[in-house]
Amino acid sequence: MAGAPRLTESASAVFAVLAQAGTATRPQLASLARLSKPTVSSAVAELEGVRLAAHSGTSSGGTGRSAAVYRLGPAAGAVLAVDLGPAVTRVRACALDGTLLAEATGPREEAADVVRDALSALPVDAPLRAIVVAVGDVTARAEEGTVRPATAKAGPVFDAVAVALPPGVPVHLENNVNCAALAELHEGAARGRHTFGYLRIGVGIGLGIVVGGQVLAGANGAAGEVARLPYPWDDGLEPRHEALEDYIGSRSLLRRAAEAWPASDGACPRTAERLFALAGQGSAAARAVVDRHAVDVGRLAAAVTAVLDPGLLVLGGSTGAYPQLLPGVRAELERLSWPTEVVSSQVGDLGTVVGAARLAVARGVQTVTQAARTKD
């Protein structure tokens, strides 16, 4: 990784706003950075000199005058986002203005090759500024530079992909559900909402909590770990570690379907996708299983609402995102708690990698701008 050049504070500020804007004229940069036009002109010249900014054409104003338009230069570099999902690995490489440069997808057991495929598509002269790896684990307790999740849950998966990550590039671990929540906030069902919960129901379960436009991590980085809610909670029944996740997760859903499936309906579906498809086609047996699942998810949603009062819950995940769940979830939530809007995810399976890419871009910009050491 090429080291970021030292910048003046004004050049650092202009670089940050240019990365966010994508393209801008010097008057626009002055307004966004809240700097004087002469200071911005000097900062732009400095950035051009180290190839962090480049001229990209002209723009005509209402007075007939034209203004030079700038974009990030080739030395600004790129970032990498890796979603280590339970079955699929998704990778995105982006420029520091968020432009998608490359993407790759493959089975989890081929995660390292998927990363290499995305890296191979990057320009050879583009320095890699940051890497964000999304894992199904608590991550905030990991110190800067640590290259393992905070607990052992996702460790072997991360080790499998770590061999493909370029040395010398800062690696940041993030929780996958929190990444997906960010994607919903900026590009999905929660756009325009600053407080909401993203409830993921799939192989596992998890909650992304957004308050005031920021993801809530918690003191140990474990906010939203709803798999740890005590379950079952009844006389004579002892709660077990992550028993709620075992009950609501897709594996148990399919197991319950198999137990209840009538022989007269043929083979029981082996995937959640097939189960929901049959329910949509009018299968009474499939509909009964889906309806029961909606009640269970609705009870979890009621627990979340009782604690957070988020106003909005976005349902995502390999089973949670099916709109067929919405009526049952809404009804059970209304029965047990106060009115809360419930909608389906709009970013789908790409949510985690989209959110991770957004975080990676922010980290990459920070890597460049933190090189500012001198006063103007």
Residue 158 has pLDDT above 80, yes or no: no
Residue 148 has pLDDT above 60, yes or no: no
Residue 298 has pLDDT above 60, yes or no: yes
Residue 152 is predicted with a pLDDT of 46
Residue 120 has pLDDT above 50, yes or no: yes
- Of the pLDDT bands very low, low, confident and very high (cuts 50, 70, 90), residue 157 is low
Residue 241 has pLDDT above 80, yes or no: yes
- Of the pLDDT bands very low, low, confident and very high (cuts 50, 70, 90), residue 154 is low
Which of 137, 305, 320, 302 lies closest to 217 in space, CA to CA? 137
Residue 106 is predicted with a pLDDT of 96
> What DSSP character marks residue 234?
B
Residue 136 has pLDDT above 80, yes or no: yes
- Of the pLDDT bands very low, low, confident and very high (cuts 50, 70, 90), residue 189 is very high
Average pLDDT of the residues in 348-369? 95
Residue 2 is predicted with a pLDDT of 54
- Of the pLDDT bands very low, low, confident and very high (cuts 50, 70, 90), residue 88 is very high
Q: State the amino acid at position 269 in one-letter form.
A: P
Residue 149 has pLDDT above 70, yes or no: no
Q: Which long-range contacts (CB under 8 A, 24 or more apart) does 61-69 make?
A: 67/25, 67/26, 67/27, 68/25, 68/26, 69/23, 69/24, 69/25
pLDDT tens-digit map of 26-59 = 999 999 999 999 999 999 999 999 999 999 888 7
Residue 62 has pLDDT above 60, yes or no: no
Enter the tokens of residue 108. Answer: 């989890």
% of the chain at pLDDT higher than 90: 78
| DSSP character string of 171-186 | EEEEEHHHHHHHHHHH
Orientation of helix 9-21 relative to helix 351-369, angle to 10°: 160
Average pLDDT of the residues in 118-137? 90
What per-residue string of b and e applies to 336-358 under the rule 16 or more CB within 10 Å gives b?
Answer: ebeebebbbbbbebbbbbbbbbb
Residue 366 has pLDDT above 90, yes or no: yes
Average pLDDT of the residues in 18-32? 94
Residue 141 is predicted with a pLDDT of 44
Question: How far is CA 154 from each of CA 77, 140, 181, 198, 205, rounded to the nearest angstrom?
Answer: 29, 14, 20, 21, 15
Average pLDDT of the residues in 113-134? 92
Q: State the amino acid at position 166 in one-letter form.
A: P
Residue 1 has pLDDT above 60, yes or no: no
Residue 153 is predicted with a pLDDT of 54
Residue 167 has pLDDT above 80, yes or no: yes
Q: Which long-range contacts (CB under 8 A, 24 or more apart) does 269-274 make?
A: 272/318, 272/319
Average pLDDT of the residues in 142-167? 64
CB 81 within 8 A of CB 134: yes
pTM above 0.75, yes or no: yes
Residue 87 is predicted with a pLDDT of 87
Residue 143 has pLDDT above 50, yes or no: no
Average pLDDT of the residues in 224-238? 91
